[in-house]
Amino acid sequence: MYHLELRHFPHNTRAFNLSDEELRPVVEPWAREQVVEFGERKWSPHQARLTILEGPPLPVEELSMGRGWSVALRESEDVTERVLAAVTAGFNGPGDASSDSAGASAGTSPDASVAALATDDPLGTDLAALLGPDAAWLLVAWRAAAAGSPGLAPSESLALAEQALRSSRPGPG
């Protein structure tokens, strides 16, 4: 479960108990350094600060009277850099050493990467089906694991990616 804060003095907004899907509309444009619309405001990554915490879901009674963020800070881990790095790795891919602006825009989102994989050839369709319901995020995590440990076999980096996704979600894995 994720908890989010966007801050640009004197304004800030916070959201609690977000899923991957609820976090994605903020994180993907932020990683591309695009303006994000969230909480009735527009936030620029060049001016505002984004903080993403990962931790247990917070019950409503812990969010009352402005106490939610202090509870989230106490019970959660700051994963901002890790989440942004995983999303950015999904845009560029592990083999994209150039990282030019055309390459970054061509990478688009994790969902687009899976869609491209599935439509490029029949093998890609089979692979996308094998990746399961969270194929987009698994592909992002797989690319990040492969980029972080280039000496690993693809199956080993896939195992690391699965472990990272499993540990980022509460409940049975």
pLDDT at 95: 41
Q: How far apart are CA 69 and CA 10, in angstroms?
A: 17
Whole-Å CA distances, 77 to 38, 73, 168: 22, 7, 11
Query: What pLDDT is recorded for position 62?
Result: 79
- The whole-number pLDDT of residue 49 equals 93
- pTM attached to this predicted model: 0.53
- Output the pLDDT for position 97: 37
| Res 163: pLDDT | 76
Cβ neighbours, 10 Å, residue 16: 22
> What sign does the CA torsion over 108, 147, 22, 8 have?
negative
Q: Give me the pLDDT at residue 6, please.
A: 92
* CB-CB contact of 104 with 89 (8 Å): no
In the chain, DSSP finds a helix count (H) and a strand count (E) of 9, 6
Q: What is the mean pLDDT of each run of 10 residues along the chain (173 residues)?
A: 91 89 88 86 91 89 78 88 81 43 39 50 61 70 75 83 66 48
What pLDDT does 32 receive?
Answer: 84
Give the separation between CA 137 and CA 160, rounded to whole angstroms.
Answer: 13
C-beta atoms surrounding 89 within 10 Å: 24
Asked whether the beta carbons of 52 and 46 are under 8 A apart, the reply is no
